A and B are shown apart, each in its own frame.
Chain A
Amino acid sequence: MTGRGARTIRVDTLARVEGEGSLYIKLVGERVADVKLKIYEPPRFFEALLRGRHFSEAPDITARICGICPIAYQMSAVHAIERALGVRIDPAVRLLRRLFYCGEWIESHTLHVYMLHAPDFLGYQDVIAMAKDHRAVVEKALRLKKTGNRIVQLLGGREIHPISAAVGGFYKTPTTQQLHELVDDLEWALDASLATVRWTAGLTFPNFEQDYEFVALRHADEYPLNAGRLVSNRGLDIEAAEYEDHFVEMHVKHSNALHSVVRGRGSYLVGPLARFNLNFDKLPEVARKAATDAGLRPPVKNIFRSIIVRAVELVFACAEALRIIHEYEPPATPRVEVSNRIGVGQAITEAPRGILYHRYALDENGLIVTAKIVPPTSQNQKRIEDDLREYAAQLVAWPIAEATWKCEQAVRSYDPCISCATHFLKVVVERENVRKDIQG
């Protein structure tokens, strides 16, 4: 085979993503013949093993789907179950849950912006190598990440798989004094987040805009975390309970994660870009100004710019955490009493990577009869493949090693969370004249 044959871009173990997957792209001449985002993360069957467990165990069990966004799982679980049981929570608990989620956003977004994604823009293999030349930047990132983790630790007991979230509220709620001890760190973190917006805005971005269907929660009064209607820029406007009428999951052979599509339309995008584009008006003034100063106005259609949007969301999360702490008054009781009853409940919350849907059906003893979980990465998976099909076409003349790295960078723009999606990532770019380089 000579020059006009097929070539592949392949990455057998996609790095700096959470979980295990690979990417395979086949180029024939100037044409992108095939794109497969393969998820070989072993399936763990959470929806099946939840059956027969008591609803009170769901926040602890579903947290174990993902070590990076356990709070997202806990929040979608408690809201869905509370809906099934007809439970109304204390407004102070609602605020604490928002604060808890802000902690996870700060921790997760900082991890992704500085430790997983920035090395691509600056040409480093990892953050450790980056730290040799940019020590002060990395030290700031670690301190910012730690600030998010401090919130999670206070409200949840520990950073990974926190233990305090409960159906009806929390097992234990913090004192006003304990929350106020976070203020100095959060004020520093707000400044560090504003600096992060300026720093990420100074990076170089490929020219790559796509016509996305953005899907995110939207709430009348706030930037979305735990609540809101599910909306899109193509007219979707539904309650969580209607989710399965509008979205379908498809099982494809090359992936242990299910692909999700909007019924009748196809792939869609969830996560920071979708939230920002659909909720720009709900950002606090400090975050909106940081975004516009950095040249970001909705709609942002370049997935590589997600890194700046994450930084804007860091500003939001720090400002929102400070607002909540200043308004906080402890709830009358950490959690309201809940009793067993038959019911079905659905909820959607905004995980750092995008919307996370849970549905539970409960029996008269409070045991789970059926559970359904649709994580953000499985929703983005088809959109990632669609993006790569377009993006790889721009890279056909590039040397394989560079094209591969750029494709990996594109995938990492989504901050994919493969353990979540399997209940997913490795990159492969193939061209036929170099086929002998390819193994298994």
Chain B
Amino acid sequence: MSSKSKHKPRIGVFKFASCDGCQLSLLDAEDELLAIAGAVDIAYFPEATRAMSKGPYDIGLVEGSITTYQDAQRIQEVRRHCRTLVTIGACATAGGIQALRNWKDVDEFIRVVYATPQFISTLKLSTPIAEHVPVDFELRGCPINKCHLIELITATLAGRKPNVPTYSVCIECKRKANVCIAVARGVPCLGPVTQAGCGALCPSYDRGCYGCYGPMETPSTVSLTSQFRILGQTDSQVARAFRGFNAWAWQFRKASEECERT
């Protein structure tokens, strides 16, 4: 911050189609919340406060994917009011679990859930924020890791790039000295193609990674697909594995569609 700027940086938290879990991460930072509130002005955060101050905001945290015409308009408005715009979580970054509709007939989905389909207005696709407006940084995870969120706020205020990993979950497993469940026990695991950040949680709890941090920088989904087949997974099982909370991220999308073609 320059010495001239006396005002506290203003943060806005904006929600689109999502579960609220990523913004809850801020309230879940029990040890840091009051310190954060001392360092920044939480200007817009409807989940936590009635006071809703108008922009501009120094940092806009955007949760959720774009699934309605109104939201596609609203994200343009949000972008105009945010100096730095950061997407938080798999919905905002990759379209979320609701992007499974992208391979289906959404009108049929509406009929399954709602008795009077004409009351419901929705877009055919659930899309990430970056397909609509320029995004300055994307925080991965379903949900995000609250330590990454604190690092992101700190880094943005300091004018540097946030220090969050871009390597795979495998590296975290090695650091924790986990025995590889895929190699040792033949458990299908998305760890080799998934970005780190969770602390290799699933393998540490005796189950395969299900990819909630999305694809790492250069994932070799082709070799993982053949490894899954060696482990006895059918094409539809492999396709389902890639088609989870980051299904619409292009690397996972391509991998799942290739399984469907074979």
Q: Is there contact, CB below 8 Å, between A45 and B113? A: yes
Pair B115/A161 contact, Cβ less than 8 Å: no
Q: Are B71 and A68 in contact (CB under 8 A)?
A: no
* Complex alpha-carbon distance, A381 and B24, angstroms: 23
Which chain B residues border A19 with CB–CB below 8 Å?
15, 20
Which residues of A sit under 8 angstroms from B221, Cβ to Cβ? none
CB distance from B199 to the nearest CB of A (A): 9
B227 proximal to A (CB < 8 A): no
* Least CB distance, A75 to chain B, in whole angstroms: 16
Contact A139 B97 (CB under 8 A): no
Residues of A within 8 A of B245 (CB): 64
Instruction: Flag if B112 contacts A64 (CB, 8 Å).
Output: no
Contact of B110 among A15, A43, A149, A164 (CB under 8 A): A43
Which of B29-37, B131-139, B156-164, B254-262 is the interface stretch? B29-37
Is A42 in contact with B109, judged by CB distance below 8 angstroms? no
A377 CB–B CB distance under 8 Å: no
**CB-nearest residue of chain B relative to A125?**
B51
- Confirm or deny: A17 has a beta carbon within 8 angstroms of a beta carbon on chain B: yes
Cα distance A115–B101 in the bound complex, in angstroms: 35
**Is B228 part of the contact surface with A, judged by Cβ < 8 Å?**
no
Taking the nearest CB of chain B, how far is it from the CB of A338, in angstroms? 14
B109 to chain A, nearest CB (A): 4
Segment at the interface with B among A48-56, A219-227, A277-285: A48-56
Bound-state Cα–Cα, A129 to B41, Å: 11
A251: min CB distance to chain B, Å: 4
Residue of A44, A125, A158 ringed by the most chain B CB atoms within 10 A = A44
A22-49 to B contact mask, C-beta < 8 Å, 1/0: 0000000000000000001111111111
| Residue pair B34, A256 in contact (C-beta under 8 Å) | no
Interface string of A169-183 (1 = CB under 8 A from B): 001100000000000
Q: For the complex formed, measure the closest distance between the CB of B252 and the CB atoms of chain A, giving whole angstroms.
A: 15
Evaluate contact between B212 and A161: CB separation under 8 angstroms: yes
Is residue B231 within 8 Å, beta carbon to beta carbon, of the partner chain? no
Q: In the complex the two chains form, what is the Cα distance from A164 to B245 in whole Å?
A: 17
> Which residue of chain B lies nearest to A149 when distances are taken between CB atoms in the complex?
B28
Give A348-376 interface residues, CB cut-off 8 Å to B: none
Q: Are B202 and A66 in contact (CB under 8 A)?
A: no
Assembled-state Cα–Cα distance A156/B16 (Å): 27
Interface string of B103-131 (1 = CB under 8 A from A): 01010111011111001101000100000
Complex contact B206–A42 (CB within 8 A)? no
- The reply to whether B120 and A17 form a contact with Cβ atoms under 8 Å apart is no
Task: Give the tally of cross-chain contacts (CB within 8 A).
Answer: 183
Are B42's CB and A128's CB within 8 A?
yes
Name A15's contact: one of B50, B96, B100, B210 (CB within 8 Å).
B50
Tell whether, in the assembled complex, residue B109 and residue A48 are in contact, meaning their CB atoms are under 8 Å apart.
yes
The chain A residue with its CB closest to the CB of B118 is: A253
B109/A157 in contact, CB under 8 A: no
Tell me whether A68 and B115 are in contact in the complex, defined as CB-CB below 8 angstroms, given that A15-B49, A49-B109 are known contacts: no
CA distance A158 to B144 in the complex (A): 11
State the CA gap A348–B118 with chains docked (Å). Answer: 30
A-contacting residues, B236-252, CB 8 Å: 240, 244-245
Q: Are B100 and A49 in contact (CB-based, < 8 A)? A: yes
| B155 touches A (CB below 8 Å) | no
Of B48, B96, B113, B240, which contacts A423 at CB under 8 A?
Answer: B113
Of B27, B100, B110, B113, most buried by chain A (CB within 10 Å of CB) is B113
Type the 1/0 row for A51-93, where 1 means its CB is closer than 8 Å to any CB of B.
1011001001100111110100000000000000000000000
Q: Which of A1-19 contact B (CB under 8 A)?
A: 13-19
Is the beta-carbon distance between B34 and A138 smaller than 8 angstroms? yes
Which residue of chain B is the closest to A62 with respect to CB atoms? B97
How many A residues are at the interface, by size bracket? Answer: 35 or more
Known: A163-B207, A172-B205. Is A131-B143 also a contact (CB below 8 A)? no
CB-CB nearest in chain B for A164: B205
CA distance A419 to B46 in the complex (A): 14
Question: Once the chains are docked, how many angstroms separate the CA of A15 from the CA of B101?
Answer: 29
Q: Is A320 an interface residue (CB 8 A)?
A: no
A415 to B1, CA, bound (A): 39
- In the bound assembly, the distance between CA atoms of A129 and B50 in angstroms comes to 11
The answer on a CB contact under 8 Å between B98 and A68 is no
Q: Which residues of A contact B37 (CB under 8 A)?
A: 128, 131
Does B17 sit at the interface, judged by CB under 8 A? Answer: yes
Interface centre among A258, A405, A419 (most CB of B within 10 A): A419
Q: Which of B70, B97, B244 has the most CB of A within 10 A?
A: B97
Given A48-B104, A139-B34, CB of A64 within 8 Å of CB of B19 = yes
Q: Give bound CA distance, A115 to B114, whole Å.
A: 33
Is A334 part of the contact surface with B, judged by Cβ < 8 Å? yes
Residues on A with beta carbons closer than 8 Å to the beta carbon of B244 = 60
Q: Within residues 228 to 243 of chain A, which ones have a CB less than 8 A from any CB in chain B?
A: none
How many whole Å from A401's CB to the nearest CB in chain B?
11
Bound CA–CA A67/B89 (angstroms): 12
Interface contact B50-A16, CB-CB below 8 Å: yes
CB contacts under 8 Å to B, within A200-219, are none
* Least distance between A273 CB and chain B CB atoms (Å): 23
A126:B198 contact, CB within 8 angstroms: no
Q: For the complex, is B204 an interface residue (Cβ under 8 Å from A)? A: yes
Nearest residue (CB) in B for A334 is B206
Can you list 16 A-B pairs with a CB-CB distance of less than 8 A?
A15-B50, A16-B47, A18-B24, A20-B15, A42-B17, A64-B245, A67-B24, A115-B48, A145-B30, A157-B201, A157-B205, A160-B28, A160-B143, A164-B207, A249-B115, A419-B18
The 10 A-B pairs with the shortest beta carbon distances in the complex, nearest first, are: A67-B21, A126-B49, A48-B109, A125-B51, A251-B115, A146-B30, A142-B30, A44-B98, A48-B112, A160-B143
Given contacts A16-B48, A43-B110, A172-B207, 14 further A-B contacts (CB under 8 A): A20-B15, A43-B122, A45-B109, A49-B109, A64-B96, A67-B18, A67-B24, A119-B50, A128-B34, A131-B37, A142-B33, A149-B30, A163-B201, A163-B205
